[in-house]
Amino acid sequence: MTLSVGCCGWAVKGGREAYFRSFRLIELQSTFYKLPKIETARRWRETSPKDFEYTLKAWQAITHPLSSPTWRRSGEKIPSWKSYRYGYFRQSEENFQAWERTKAVCDVLNAKICVFQSPASFGPTDQNCENISAFMGSIERGSLKIAWEPRGEWRKHGEKVRKLCSKLDLIHVVDPFRWMPLSENSVCYMRLHGIGKGEVNYSYKYTEEDLLKLLKLVRELGKTKDKIYVLFNNLSMAVDAKRFMELVSKNAKVEI
């Protein structure tokens, strides 16, 4: 089993060069709000270390309706009459085009994984199950692995998540302090949003006890997984990710 640790964004003071000195993995968050030009993504790849890995979040056009506040950062001017054609994995020309644009960025970055984060409003209804099944069953992936982070009520419907991940060959993305991955994929992908009662608690700073628990979970999952990604996504993500890497180096018999 191999382990990769990083942050959800360029979280190290000093920018990209400083980040490269600390990590060999990043999950790009900016692609969720607005996709970069292909030339920009190519420049990112060419100016990164050869062994540096990018993963990224799929553009919100596929997952989030125009009513989502996240669209305020998109810079897109979309007529209101087209609103029903965006988000919720609908089989619309707009959503499929959004995927083509997202995949093009993935390809240029040599990304192995693209993360789809569905909003809490995309609940475990029969219609939504049909939407994601039809969409994921229609898109061209190539060698790219697709990871899905369901939010909201899905945690109460684990069997639906398990069946969808199995049927559609999806990596189930989880925060392991809230629930464990249900997909049988050989890859495990974790996004740590801080510990708390809600979906996220970004202000949370992980304790030594928390990180030891995380290490124990990684070891256990490593018995059945070939690759584990751990992405910190809290305000102190860079510090916490470094602390976890140091803990792994001292205590874990895994390749990092």
pLDDT tens-digit map of 125-151:
999 999 999 999 999 999 999 999 999
| CA gap 240, 6 in Å, rounded | 10
Phi (first) and psi of residue 57, to 5 degrees: -90, 135
Q: What was the pLDDT predicted at 17?
A: 96
Size (the chain), residues: 256
Give pLDDT tens digits for 52-64: 999 999 999 999 9
Which two three-digit tokens encode residue 140? 């061209």
Question: Read out DSSP for 49-70?
Answer: -TT-EEEEEPPTTTTS-TTSGG
Contact criterion met (CB below 8 Å) for 89 and 135 = yes
Contact between 184 and 151 (Cβ < 8 Å): no
Residue pair 115/27 in contact by the 8 Å Cβ criterion: yes
- What the block records as the tokens of 45 is 């790849």
> What is the band of 229 on the pLDDT scale with cuts at 50, 70, 90?
very high
Type of residue at 194 = G
Q: What is the C-alpha to C-alpha distance for residues 178 and 199, in angstroms, rounded to an integer?
A: 8
Residue that wins the pLDDT comparison between 29 and 252: 29
Report the C-alpha gap between 152 and 200 in whole angstroms: 11
Domain ranges of the chain: 2-251
Residue 50 has pLDDT above 90, yes or no: yes
**Residue 220, amino acid:** E
Tell me the torsion sign for CA atoms 183, 130, 104, 234.
Answer: negative
Phi, psi of 107 (to 5 degrees): -65, -45
Q: Which residues on adjacent β-strands are paired with residue 232?
A: 7, 192
Kindly indicate the confidence band of residue 83, based on its pLDDT and cuts at 50, 70 and 90.
confident
Query: What is the sign of the dihedral through the CA atoms of 252, 212, 214 and 223?
Result: positive
The answer to whether 25 and 4 have CB atoms below 8 angstroms apart is yes
Please give the CATH architecture assigned to the domain spanning 2-251: Alpha-Beta Barrel (3.20)
DSSP assignments along 133-192, one per residue:
HHHHTTS--TT-EEEEE--GGGGG-HHHHHHHHHHHTEEEEE-TTT-------SEEEEEE
Give the DSSP letter of residue 120.
T
pLDDT at residue 73 in the model: 86
Q: Among candidates 73, 57, 29, 42, which has minimal Cα distance to 117?
A: 57
pTM to 2 decimal places? 0.95
pLDDT number for residue 149: 98
Return contacts of 182-186, CB within 8 angstroms, 24+ apart.
Answer: 182/158, 185/145, 186/225, 186/226, 186/227
| Partner residues linked to 113 by β-bridges | 145
